[in-house]
Structure 1
Amino acid sequence: MNIRVVIVEDEPLAQEILEEYLVEIPGLQLVGKFYNGYDGLKGIQELAPDLLLLDINLPKISGFELLELLDAPPQVIFVTAYDTYAVKAFEVHALDYLLKPFTKERLKTAVEKARERIALKDMQNLERVTQDVQIDSEPLERVVVKTGAKIDLIPVGDIHYLRAEDDYVGIHTAKGRFLKLKPMKYFEVKLDASIFCRVHRSFMVNLSQVIRIEPYEKERYRLILRSGIEVPVSKSGRLRLKNALG
């Protein structure tokens, strides 16, 4: 079986080395190579490769952000110069993570692991790994959202509040509402707790947007945001809010 491969790597020399090594591994077909996350995303969607060789620190959008935007991600071998992205999480889930510089033999070993996964069609593995790494990596500075063919990069400081909507979270900003396929718990863990507070099972707010807290039913409260939006506060949310505001 021929494995269709795409490379997304911003360093020309690293791309050349990868291509040189791949030529010597039987059963691989390099169908595309890209230098940034935007072009890589578009190329992967058009070419539908079986295997992706992916750098993490890319121009425009990162390797992790690129994976979040793919509806049907291929198997992935991460290729990076940094060892700070939860390497053990990849190893536990039997995907691979190559630290530059690496040898041809090391890449071949990684490709053989991926070949086995492709044969087994074990695509759930990738989802578990990307989720683990996102939780373990640095706090969010921005959220990447795809709407049709459009990609929006939302700085977390622009978020007024978040609302759980079934399997999605609605991200509300001055520019409108954006949907992200993530659980609310993800944002609760990833957003700075000194700035964002989960005040209800379905709501998190940017504390800088709160102008007033007022009762509206017996022992129940709501927040009034600068935009005029009213956000309910649960009993446990009120305690978290109190602690956050000191």
Structure 2
Amino acid sequence: MDPATIGLALLSGALIGLVLALVGGGGSIVAVPLLIHVVGVSSPHAAIGTAAVAVALNAAAGLAGHARAANVKWPCAVVFAGAGMVGAALGAELGKAMDGEALLAAFGVLMIVVGGLMLRGRKGGADPDVRLFAASARHLMPRLAGYGLAVGLLAGFFGIGGGFLIVPGLIAATAMPIGIAVGTSLVIVTALGATTATSYALSGYVDWMLVAWLVAGGIAGTVAGRFAGKRLAARKNLLERGFAAVVIAVGVFITARAL
């Protein structure tokens, strides 16, 4: 990798980390466009595979803090992630078999949908004590597995973490509060990202050197984002809406260009 490409990779990683720290999600949805249009990765499949590795590593790093704060419903996460990994494996195979330009067009449409969901905002449920055990399994397991499979298919197909899809899915399935849903989602994002990354890596679609530079930039971006987030806490809604508008605009651009 030449110095210019390394610099662009560091910058892209920093932007992804900054978004994750400021908005609390959405970093993975901008990773693929950054890799293609900023870093210059020519293959959409390679961009998706490389982004999937970075997504899994970022989620695993963020999970530790939520686990220490007891914001993770582990049994619910395991069921959702188990079904999601099956979906992600299937989705990754479908994505690799699809024409690169058609895949980019579909990714652009997904960005528009995700941006719309972000504009609507996220509301949590009202049951902080929800848990998966023998008495509740009959009700919760089919819902968790169903949402997990559907989200996993999309995450594997597009190489995204799927946090903005997983969080609403967890809330709809269990009525858990949003703070707990966000913490629990990181277990699932890690599992789905690792599944997708493994599938693409086995097909030679992961640039490991690029992953290293993205992660290095992501660490710096996360630190900066946490510092800025404390200063901009009162404007979090404005930040989320502004980022949603950017996601929609980029989605329109990618779709139009691919078509």
With structure 1 as the length reference, what TM-score do the two structures score?
Answer: 0.29
Name which structure has the greater RCO, CA cutoff 8 Å, separation 6+.
2
Higher fraction of strand: 1
Radius of gyration: which is bigger? 1
